[in-house]
């Protein structure tokens, strides 16, 4: 009886939401997929429309299990649900999804299949998902970047695996201190928190790792802590921490601004243009500033301000007139070229590609 009563309440709420949508006439759909505890893929459906008071409203309607995550399967599930709810697909004016290929694909994605039936259902990718993909592209742009975030994950895994080790960390950073976080592929904000903890508390975390490395009882933990401690006390790691903190701090400001209630499209486009200007300026002047900051941190920790030496691969000389092999870049120049500039250029290019559609819509509406 309890389940029946709950279902009756749910049906009543759903009917009320559908009636509001019909009164508004035009609406947009927002979809997202995730696995539940039973490993079943669930697709959530949210409708967005202009309410009776003239303000945008969003209402959750249902979780729909899907057995395949292809564009055809997801689109079919959505269309069937819209029909079951008694809504007219011709009145749909917007689609909001993430930027995954099965969703935003131009030919077989969900948005493309809905556009085939209703060309007025404009597709606008989720801003937060787009920023997450931008940072994911940047984190994979260089082997040093992959190693950097892999190290952050190793620190969290090592310290969180034992209550005693975690207690050492919380005692070291204090009650209001920052703790490392587990990295997530879908929640890039945890990257910011983890980098922030390292950026402002690196000496404390190094001390904790040194204590773990000298505490008997778990040889594997001692070995991991020792290798992490050595790597954290390298100048290139300190410089990477400063660079990524600068980038993620700026992206976090962008994301928080985008999530404010009532933000309009022209404001969002202005923030994108402002970020692209900032990233271009950071490309020109950011490395020198980050290098100076990293040297100050390294000096306070008694860490040598040295880059990893460049290894020259000697080629066998077959003829006397062939010149000797020589290093074309200093270690500092190589770090900047193969790491810093790759990350910055990846971010710049990814932002332009992933937010190009939003700018196109803005130009279309702005022209009228």
| Mean pLDDT score across all residues of the chain | 85
Domains identified in the chain, total number: 2
Q: Which among 125, 152, 174 is the end of a domain?
A: 125
Share of the chain above pLDDT 90, in %: 41
Residues 187, 265 within the same domain: yes
Judge whether 319 lies within some domain: no
Give yes or no for residue 285 having a pLDDT over 60. Answer: yes
When pLDDT is cut at 50, 70 and 90, the band that residue 175 belongs to is: low
Angle at alpha carbon of residue 232, lines to 278 and 218, rounded to 5°: 140
- Report angle CA 360, 268, 63 to the nearest 5 degrees: 85
SS3 33: strand
- Give, in degrees to the nearest 5, the angle at Cα 236 between 231 and 238: 80
End-to-end CA distance of the chain: 56
> Do 323 and 346 meet the contact criterion of CB atoms below 8 Å apart?
no
> What pLDDT is recorded for position 105?
60
Say if residue 240's pLDDT is above 90.
yes
pLDDT at 323: 55
Q: Model confidence over 322-333: pLDDT tens digits?
A: 555 555 578 899
| C-alpha distance from residue 296 to each of 13, 235, 241, 305, 309 (Å) | 59, 11, 13, 9, 21
Residues 70 and 166 in one domain: no
Question: Same structural domain for residues 252 and 303?
Answer: yes
DSSP state at residue 354: H
Give the pLDDT of residue 209.
93
Residue 31's CATH number: 3.30.420
Instruction: Say if residue 205 is in the same domain as residue 265.
Output: yes
Confidence of residue 56 (pLDDT cuts 50, 70, 90): confident
* Domain edge (last residue) among 125, 154, 178: 125
Nearest C-alpha neighbor of 13 from the set 41, 47, 42: 47
Q: Is residue 214 located within the same domain as residue 358?
A: yes
Indicate whether 145 pLDDT > 90: yes
Per the model's pLDDT, the better-predicted residue between 267 and 128 turns out to be 267
Q: Which of 115-124, 179-188, 215-224, 342-351 has the lowest mean pLDDT?
A: 179-188
Q: Do residues 32 and 100 lie in contact, with contact meaning Cβ atoms separated by under 8 Å? A: no
Residues 278 and 197 in one domain: yes
Residues 70 and 145 in one domain: no
Q: Is position 205 within any domain? A: yes
Residue 317: inside a domain: no
Range of the domain at 43: 2-125
| Position 165 pLDDT exceeds 80 | yes
Pair 169, 54 in one domain: no
In a domain, 320, yes or no: no
Assess whether 213 and 121 both reside in one domain. Answer: no
Q: What is the mean pLDDT of residues 297-314?
A: 83
- Are 94 and 188 part of one and the same domain? no
Please list, in sequence order, all residues whose beta carbon lies within 8 angstroms of the beta carbon of residue 199, skipping any fewer than 6 positions away: 241, 242, 245
Q: Do residues 102 and 149 share a domain?
A: no
Q: Residue range 292-309: average pLDDT?
A: 92
Q: How many helices, marked H, and strands, marked E, lie in the chain?
A: 14, 5
How far apart, in whole angstroms, are the C-alpha atoms of residue 292 and residue 296? 6
Considering the domain architecture, whether residues 56 and 201 belong to the same structural domain is answered as no
pLDDT category of residue 303 using cuts at 50, 70 and 90: very high
Return the pLDDT at 102: 60
66: enclosing H helix or E strand: strand 56-66
Question: How is residue 91 annotated by DSSP?
Answer: G
| Overall average pLDDT of the 317-345 stretch | 77
Per-residue model confidence (pLDDT) at position 319: 56
The reply to whether 166 falls in a domain is yes
Query: Which of 72, 93, 125 represents a domain boundary (last residue)?
Result: 125
């Amino acid at each position: 009886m309890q389940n029946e009563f709950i279902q009756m309440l749910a049906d009543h709420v759903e009917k009320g939401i559908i009636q509001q949508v019909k009164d508004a006439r035009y609406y947009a759909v927002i979809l997202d997929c995730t696995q539940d505890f039973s490993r079943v893929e669930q697709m959530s459906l949210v409708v967005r429309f202009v309410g009776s008071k003239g303000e945008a409203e969003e209402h959750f309607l249902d979780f729909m299990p899907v057995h395949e995550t292809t564009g055809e399967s997801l689109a079919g599930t959505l269309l069937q649900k819209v029909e079951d709810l008694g809504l007219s697909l011709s009145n749909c004016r917007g689609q909001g999804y993430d930027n995954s290929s099965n969703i935003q694909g131009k030919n077989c994605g969900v948005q493309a299949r809905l556009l085939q039936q209703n060309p007025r259902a404009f597709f606008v990718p989720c801003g937060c998902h787009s920023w997450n993909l931008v940072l994911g592209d940047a984190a994979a742009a260089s082997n040093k970047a992959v190693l950097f975030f892999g190290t952050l994950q190793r620190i969290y895994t090592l310290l969180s695996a034992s209550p005693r080790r975690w207690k050492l960390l919380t005692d070291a950073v204090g009650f209001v201190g920052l703790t490392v976080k587990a990295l997530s592929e879908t929640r890039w904000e945890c990257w910011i928190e983890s980098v922030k903890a390292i950026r402002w508390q690196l000496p404390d975390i190094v001390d904790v790792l040194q204590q773990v490395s000298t505490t008997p009882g778990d040889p594997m933990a001692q070995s991991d802590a020792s290798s992490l401690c050595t790597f954290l006390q390298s100048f290139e790691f300190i410089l990477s921490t400063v660079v990524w903190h600068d980038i993620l701090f700026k992206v976090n400001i962008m994301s928080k601004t985008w999530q404010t209630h009532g933000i309009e499209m022209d404001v969002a486009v202005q923030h994108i243009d402002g970020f692209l200007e900032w990233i271009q300026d950071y490309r020109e002047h950011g490395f020198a500033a980050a290098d100076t900051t990293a040297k100050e941190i390294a000096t306070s920790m008694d860490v040598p301000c040295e880059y990893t030496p460049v290894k020259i691969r000697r080629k066998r000389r077959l003829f006397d007139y062939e010149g000797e092999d020589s290093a074309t870049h200093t270690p500092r120049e190589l770090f900047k070229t193969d790491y810093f500039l790759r990350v910055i250029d990846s971010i710049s290019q990814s932002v332009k590609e992933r937010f190009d559609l939003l700018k196109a819509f803005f130009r279309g509406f702005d022209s009228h």
